[in-house]
Amino acid sequence: MENLLNEQLSWWNFGVFSFWAVVLLVIVLGYVTYAIYFERKILGWMQLRHGPTRTGPLGLLQTVADVAKLLIKEDTIPRKAEQTLFKLAPIIMFIPSFVVLATIPYTSSWFFADLNVGMLYYAALSGISTIGVVLGGWASNNKYALLGGMRSAAQMISYEVPLVISVTGVIMMSGSLNMRTIVAAQEGAFWHWNFLPQIVGFIVFIIAAVSELNRTPFDLPEAESELVAGYHVEYSGFRFAFYMLGEYVYTFAIACLTTVLFLGGWHAPLPFLDFIPGIIWYLLKFTLVVFFLIWLRGTLPRVRIDQLMSLGWKVLLPLSLVNVIITAVVIELTK
């Protein structure tokens, strides 16, 4: 892949890139399908339940059946909805979740785009999803959907700010927005990884990322007991599936981003373990982050909207700014 980037663009290169893009798409879709399955199983074990057991061996086809059911359901559109925007909103939510994966490196040679502003690219494109959420709520011509869309927009914008600022310390330490350079700066034992010197930024990043994903305890955009399922209350069938798919693809992206920025990417935790391929270490760290997200969902209750906004603006934002200032001072003193 790295050699292809250095060659002149040709139809052959385009075909190879397209092939690997389709492979990544299939992998991500497979991840989404079985991330839902394992989430249900793990939450079941935590809560002394069985989880899916009936559809297929060990219930392995339950999510496949759920997806098939969504795809063949009737596509209903409210008569007074803004039809063009109503149809466009799930696509606006869905597409950026895949496009952001282009700059994430999986090993030193497995990546699609080696952008010098890779982190900026990720932050810019992931913010577009907010438009899809707001449009979905507004175009539905439903007051509950509109309320859910406005709450979701407020939450996503509020936590996007500390999320980006929390990464600034990592960028300052590595001296680059390029994700491969950020991973290269963490080479060595695990105490060289960014989660230790940037522990404040790491904690802020994890909390803000969970809120960006709309997952428990910050799943207020879909608080069924309050909002009748939130901004997508009027969506059914495959359009509803687009929203759900976008959210789970973002869990894939956030787990990858956490691994790259704070957990050393493909580097082994100790030098003598370097004989194990880097992709194995990457997948282990990725799996650990995904398990942590599931663990949170099975442990913490949903917070109130005032608690959510106060945490974002009064706690996480000041902490992320303090982290940037301390990082700048330390870098200046150690020159």
Q: Torsion angle, CA of 287/288/294/298, rounded to 10 degrees?
A: 150
Q: With contact defined as beta carbons under 8 Å apart, do 320 and 201 qualify?
A: yes
Reported pTM? 0.91
CA distances from 333 to 225, 274, 327 (A): 52, 33, 10
CA distances from 139 to 84, 101, 153 (A): 8, 28, 15
Per-residue DSSP letter, 233: T
Residue 102's contacts (CB-CB under 8 Å, 6 or more residues apart) are 112, 113, 121
pLDDT value at residue 293: 94
pLDDT value at residue 97: 86
Question: Quick one: which of 223, 256, 211, 251 has its CA closest to 32?
Answer: 251
pLDDT (tens digit per residue) in 295-311: 999 898 888 888 999 99
SS3 for 47? Answer: coil
pLDDT value at 257 more than 90: yes
pLDDT value at residue 149: 87
For residue 123, the one-letter residue type is: A
- Average pLDDT taken over every residue of the chain: 89
Q: With contact defined as beta carbons under 8 Å apart, do 186 and 193 qualify?
A: yes
pLDDT value at residue 216: 84
pLDDT (tens digit per residue) in 274-286: 899 999 999 999 9
- Burial zone of 224 (CB within 10 Å; 0-12 exposed, 13-18 middle, 19+ buried): exposed
- Burial zone of 272 (CB within 10 Å; 0-12 exposed, 13-18 middle, 19+ buried): exposed
SS3 for 81? Answer: coil
Distance CA 95, CA 120 (A): 17
For residue 328, the one-letter residue type is: A
Higher pLDDT, 322 or 94: 322
pLDDT level of residue 223 (50, 70, 90 thresholds):
low
Question: Quick one: which of 204, 207, 196, 202 has its CA closest to 258?
Answer: 202
pLDDT value at residue 177: 92
Q: What share of the chain is helix, strand, coil (3-state, %, to 5)?
A: 70, 0, 30
Give me the residue spans of the domains in the chain: 1-72, 82-334
